[in-house]
Structure 1
Amino acid sequence: MLDEAEFDRDDAAPIDMLESYFAAHGWSHEREDEEIVARVKGSWTEYELRAIWREDDGVLQFLAFPDIRVPDERRIALYEAIGLVNEQLWIGHFELWSSSGILLFRHAAMVDGDEPTLSLGQAEMLVESAIDECERFYPVFQFVLWGGKTPAEALAAALIETQGEA
């Protein structure tokens, strides 16, 4: 958890705040106008995090790509798995881009006002919840794609609560 004292302000324009957040974590990132892309190492894989600010709509779209490409022959099973996983989510959702077979987590935040800003707490919630959900459900997708499990079996196996670390 980052401390607001590490930032010049406790709120900033959405992409500016995310750039500060990524920099404070030491994550490599690139920015172009109203879009920023960062790379983050998770427990399972490296994630690409992408935020796009749509000023006209007052929407910050946040995407997390868990480096999973779905072969055509596994798409039906993965769509079923995505449906079961999305039932478990309160904010955001997983989807599969049909043209490329790329799996991603997507969330959008409404950021209104004359000078829309994002607080450090909002940035942290947006980023960390996306990473947490990708980490939580990565095994489900792997079990379906490569483990020979049905979507229901994969979800049940992935949601077993473990204690401690090996």
Structure 2
Amino acid sequence: MLDEAEFDRDDAAPIDMLENYFAAHGWTHQREDEEIVAKVKGSWTEYELRAIWREDDGVLQFLAFPDVRVADDRRAAMYEAIGLVNEQLWIGHFELWSASGILLYRHAAMIDGSGEPTLTLDQAELLIESAIDECERFYPVFQFVLWGGKTPAEALASALIETQGEA
């Protein structure tokens, strides 16, 4: 968790705040106008995080790509797995882009439109960390379906086992 003292202020324009957050973590990132992309190393894979500010709608769209591509012959099983996984989520959802077979996690934040739109440090942290946490939590499900020969239900059950103690 970052300390608000590390920033000039505790709120900023949405993309500015995300850029500050990425920089404070030392994550590689690139910004173009109202969009920012960062690379983050997770425990399973590297994630591409992408945020797009839609000023007209007052929406900050946030995407996390866990570097998973799904071949045509595995898409039916993956769609089933995504449906089962999405039932477990409170915020955001996974989806599969049909044209490219890319798996992603997506959610959005409505930003107050009164005055200058800002994103707080707490909001930025929640947006980013929840996306990474969900990708980390469910990455094994998708791998079990794609490479482990498990059905979507088996994959979900295997991935959600809570371990006790240490080995």
CA distance in structure 1 between the aligned counterparts of 2:127 and 2:104, rounded to whole angstroms: 15
CA distance in structure 2 between the aligned counterparts of 1:103 and 1:158, rounded to whole angstroms: 17
CA distance in structure 1 between the aligned counterparts of 2:10 and 2:84, rounded to whole angstroms: 37
Superposed, 1:54-133 pairs within 5 Å as: 54-112=54-112, 113-133=114-134
**Number of matched residues?**
166
Q: Classify the secondary structure of the residue corresponding to 1:36.
A: strand
CA distance in structure 2 between the aligned counterparts of 1:161 and 1:39, rounded to whole angstroms: 28
- State the shift of 1:130 in Å: 0.1
- State the shift of 1:163 in Å: 3.4
CA distance in structure 1 between the aligned counterparts of 2:55 and 2:63, rounded to whole angstroms: 17
Number of the residue aligned with 1:151? 152
Aligned identity (percent) is 89
One-letter amino acid matched to 2:98 = S
**Cα distance per residue 1:46-91 (max 9 Å; x no partner):** 0000000000000000000000000000000000000000000000
CA distance in structure 2 between the aligned counterparts of 1:111 and 1:51, rounded to whole angstroms: 13
Q: Classify the secondary structure of the residue corresponding to 1:114.
A: coil
- State the shift of 1:123 in Å: 0.1
Provide TM-score, normalisation by structure 2.
0.98
Superposed, 1:3-14 pairs within 5 Å as: 3-14=3-14
Q: Classify the secondary structure of the residue corresponding to 1:115.
A: coil
CA distance in structure 2 between the aligned counterparts of 1:36 and 1:62, rounded to whole angstroms: 10
CA distance in structure 1 between the aligned counterparts of 2:165 and 2:141, rounded to whole angstroms: 20
Quickly say closer, same or farther: Cα 1:160–1:106, change in 2 above 3 A.
Answer: same
**Cα distance per residue 1:14-37 (max 9 Å; x no partner):** 000000000000000000000000
CA distance in structure 2 between the aligned counterparts of 1:64 and 1:51, rounded to whole angstroms: 9
1:27 aligns with 2:63: no
- State the shift of 1:162 in Å: 1.6
**Cα distance per residue 1:133-157 (max 9 Å; x no partner):** 0000000000000000000000000
Quickly say closer, same or farther: Cα 1:36–1:75, change in 2 above 3 A.
Answer: same
Runs of 4+ aligned structure 1 residues displaced above 4 Å come to none
Number of the residue aligned with 2:141? 140
More moved, 121-130 vs 155-164: 155-164
Quickly say closer, same or farther: Cα 1:25–1:165, change in 2 above 3 A.
Answer: farther
CA distance in structure 2 between the aligned counterparts of 1:146 and 1:114, rounded to whole angstroms: 50
RMSD of aligned Cα (Å): 0.8
